[in-house]
Amino acid sequence: MALLVLMPDRDATDLVAALRNAQSDVDLRVWPECGDVADVKFAVSWNHPHGELLRFPNLEVVSSFGAAVDHFLDDPSYPAGVVTVRVVDPDLERDMAEYVLCAILAHRRHWTWYHDRKKEAQWKPRSYTRSGTVLVLGLGRLGVATARLLASMGMEVIGWSRASKELPGVRCIVGRAELHGALPYADVVVCMLPLTPDTAGILDAEVFARFRRGAYLVSVGRGRHLVESDLLDALADGRLSGACLDVFATEPLPSDHPFWDHPAITITPHVASLTNPASVAEQIADNYRRMSSGEELLNRVDLGRGY
Amino acid sequence: MALLVLMPDRDATDLVAALRNAQSDVDLRVWPECGDVADVKFAVSWNHPHGELLRFPNLEVVSSFGAAVDHFLDDPSYPAGVVTVRVVDPDLERDMAEYVLCAILAHRRHWTWYHDRKKEAQWKPRSYTRSGTVLVLGLGRLGVATARLLASMGMEVIGWSRASKELPGVRCIVGRAELHGALPYADVVVCMLPLTPDTAGILDAEVFARFRRGAYLVSVGRGRHLVESDLLDALADGRLSGACLDVFATEPLPSDHPFWDHPAITITPHVASLTNPASVAEQIADNYRRMSSGEELLNRVDLGRGY
């Protein structure tokens, strides 16, 4: 019985060390060195090559190395019979909230603009804006943590979610009509929605037309929330002053994509919150033990619902 | 009787509008259009040309357009007989604290590094560090506001000041020995000291030698706290991983200065906290009225003490 680590685009060194630390006797294989494929019953996967999981005839459990499971949903040959779980790094909410705060402060304080001036040895003080209402789209765990942090900073925060919520310091709204009513008041709009048929393409021309003129977009949910050509149009006509994007419909973002060259777009390569191997190795080892002893697994995912 | 606005390197438009709003009947002159110099009894100054204040024989009050008065101390021909005041923008503490937070988060999250990768259309995820102890040097009003904000973010904060302080969530220390003891524990050191004979040149090779290896420096007090060549040496040998500097011994920073080209140094042009004209126009108008009616002025500065 073996545990396979299958993360082609990440360095697995830290995870392997943390798993050995959490459970020293596990038979650990690191893709592509899989040994006898019949041994593998548990796989930790992140962006595995489509079809690859079918090579393991005795695979019982697949664990995402993160909260996201899009990479499983995207694989048309994802094995139907396996139990799917994920890991929940308790610090991811904090990381996400800090990323959003960093994006907002760096925008207000012209951080990358000064970086460009530095290359020209140009001393060019600019004023900055203080006030600001932030509209957070999506009040899941990450959205709640972010709304709370921004409110604790003294910002006015509006939170939009499908089901009604109550959060101290946050004005919570629901439904399309209330969203449309709130958009003109937001200096910053942060998209932290889950990706569902209702939310795919939600950041489109119709929604941008309701933004306050010169508002700023921070997109950290999923790339497919955004209609990319509509963003370019909204930037071109000044409706939006800029955007900070961490997620994209196609990742890695293709090198010929127009976002790369756009001066008002900040791009980070899906790093707003990254699972820390040391934080989650114990959860993976625990689920491996549970599988071995026939117990219920933790953090199971229903791929039919998408989360 | 006239009020002169004397700010050669700033756009005075917003201040003039705010002053007219605060006191519509004031005889307002905007340098270099001073009219009859004998009329000017009150000057609002920021970086005035040395000697310029001597042109006004009836000058009674000079107000700094900010909390700093270095630009007065630097002028050997600053008129001895005037009353010197400054303005206190109540939001400057908040601005400073947010700048320092922005500098720390942008450093941790590789913000300018990703900006450079964007220009190359390069998708290069990097991990980030979560934990971190921040040592704040100087617990004046700005230092206290900053230490409080960082502590509220969950960071471990140590605060160093001349006189003993108590701040919830901040470990307060005093004296050189305690500073030396704390330096090896700090991932980030923030200099927010006043400039005095005791603190000039405090950021030198001896202090850098006690930094934790790879620590980050944020310097927002005064440029002369820093021994510039010692910083370059400490960066070269890896003692410091980088520095974010907002203040410099000579401002504007000369275009041939080695800091501009240094990849590990972030430079902003003294913008960590900028007086907002709308926030302080009422204070200036109030002191102008007080001068006119012979009352005690507010926010007087003792230039002998330097603050």
Chain A residue closest in CA terms to B146: A153
A71 compared with A160, residue with greater pLDDT? A160
Chain B residue closest in CA terms to A112: B112
pLDDT computed for residue B304 by the predictor? 77
Chain B residue closest in CA terms to A14: B127
pLDDT band, residue B306 (cuts 50/70/90): low
Q: In the predicted model, what is the mean pLDDT of chain A? A: 95
C-alpha–C-alpha distance, residues B145 and B156, integer Å: 15
- Tell me whether residues B266 and A115 touch, CB distance under 8 A: yes
pLDDT tens string A128-171: 988 789 999 999 989 999 999 999 999 999 999 999 999 999 99
pLDDT computed for residue A186 by the predictor? 98
Look at residue A94 and give its three-state secondary structure: helix
- Maximum Cα–Cα distance across chain B: 65
- Report H helices in A23-140: 70-73, 92-108, 111-119
Chain A, 96 to 115: residues with Cβ < 8 Å from chain B are 98-99, 101-102, 105-106, 109, 111-112, 114-115
ipTM: 0.86
- Tell me whether residues B102 and A124 touch, CB distance under 8 A: no
Look at residue B42 and give its three-state secondary structure: strand
Question: Chain A residues with CB inside 8 Å of B95's CB?
Answer: 128, 130
Report, as residue numbers or ranges, the catalytic residues of A: 222, 270
CB A231 within 8 A of CB A203: yes
pLDDT computed for residue B88 by the predictor? 87
Is the pLDDT at A60 greater than 90? The verdict is yes
b/e map A69-101, b = 16+ CB within 10 Å: bbbbbebeebbeebbbbbbbbebbbbbbbbbbb
CB within 8 Å of B209: residues ≥ 6 apart: B234, B239
Q: Select the residue of A130, A149, A274 nearest B127 (Cβ to Cβ).
A: A274
What share of chain A has pLDDT > 70, as a percent? 99
Among residues A151, A163, A170, the alpha carbon closest in space to that of A198 is found at: A163
Question: Chain A residues with CB inside 8 Å of B263's CB?
Answer: none
CB A266 within 8 A of CB A244: yes
Is the pLDDT at B307 greater than 60? The verdict is no
- Tell me whether residues A121 and B260 touch, CB distance under 8 A: yes
pLDDT tens string B172-195: 999 999 999 999 999 999 999 999
Q: A210 in contact with B at a CB cutoff of 8 Å?
A: no
pLDDT tens string B68-99: 888 899 899 999 999 999 998 889 999 999 99
- Kindly report the backbone phi and psi dihedral angles of residue A13, in degrees, each rounded to the nearest multiple of 5, phi listed first: -55, -50
Question: Chain A residues with CB inside 8 Å of B131's CB?
Answer: none
To probe the interface with A, which of B13, B98, B257 has the most A CB atoms within 10 Å? Answer: B98
- Shortest Cα distance from A228 to chain B (angstroms)? 17
User: Is residue B270 flagged as an active site residue?
Assistant: yes
As to burial, measured by CB atoms within 10 angstroms (0-12 exposed, 13-18 middle, 19+ buried), residue B215 is buried
Chain B, 225 to 264: residues with Cβ < 8 Å from chain A are 251-253, 255-257, 260-261
Q: B169 in contact with A at a CB cutoff of 8 Å?
A: no
> For the residues A183-201, what does the mean pLDDT come to?
96
C-alpha–C-alpha distance, residues A108 and A130, integer Å: 8
Is the whole-model pTM more than 0.90? no
Question: Chain B residues with CB inside 8 Å of A271's CB?
Answer: 109, 125-126, 128
- Report H helices in B205-254: 205-208, 228-236
Q: B39 in contact with A at a CB cutoff of 8 Å?
A: no
Question: Chain A residues with CB inside 8 Å of B66's CB?
Answer: none
C-alpha–C-alpha distance, residues B176 and A152, integer Å: 34
- Shortest Cα distance from A221 to chain B (angstroms)? 17
Question: Chain A residues with CB inside 8 Å of B119's CB?
Answer: 260
Q: Select the residue of B106, B118, B270 nearest A111 (Cβ to Cβ).
A: B106
pLDDT-wise least confident of A263-267, B9-13, B219-223 = B9-13
pLDDT computed for residue A182 by the predictor? 98
B134 compared with A68, residue with greater pLDDT? B134
Q: B8 in contact with A at a CB cutoff of 8 Å?
A: no
> Taking the alpha carbons of B96, B98, B99, B104 in that order, is the dihedral positive or negative?
positive
pLDDT computed for residue B131 by the predictor? 74
DSSP state of A253: P
Instruction: Write out the two tokens for A289.
Output: 């033990």
Bond into A252 cis (ω within 30):
yes
pLDDT computed for residue A307 by the predictor? 57
- Tell me whether residues A271 and B126 touch, CB distance under 8 A: yes
Q: Which of B222, B224, B225, B239 is catalytic?
A: B222
Instruction: Write out the two tokens for B69.
Output: 């008065």
Question: Chain B residues with CB inside 8 Å of A128's CB?
Answer: 95, 271, 274
Q: A131 in contact with B at a CB cutoff of 8 Å?
A: no
- Tell me whether residues A94 and B130 touch, CB distance under 8 A: yes
> For the residues A31-60, what does the mean pLDDT come to?
96
Q: In the predicted model, what is the mean pLDDT of chain B? A: 95
To probe the interface with A, which of B93, B268, B279 has the most A CB atoms within 10 Å? Answer: B268
Question: Chain B residues with CB inside 8 Å of A124's CB?
Answer: 269
pLDDT computed for residue A11 by the predictor? 81
- Shortest Cα distance from B180 to chain A (angstroms)? 30
Is the pLDDT at A127 greater than 90? The verdict is no
pLDDT band, residue B198 (cuts 50/70/90): very high
pLDDT tens string A224-278: 999 999 999 999 999 999 999 999 999 999 999 999 999 999 999 999 999 989 8
pLDDT-wise least confident of A16-25, A178-187, A210-219, A259-268 = A16-25
Chain A, 62 to 101: residues with Cβ < 8 Å from chain B are 91, 94-95, 98-99, 101
Question: Chain A residues with CB inside 8 Å of B102's CB?
Answer: 102, 105-106, 109, 111
DSSP state of A138: -
pLDDT band, residue A306 (cuts 50/70/90): low
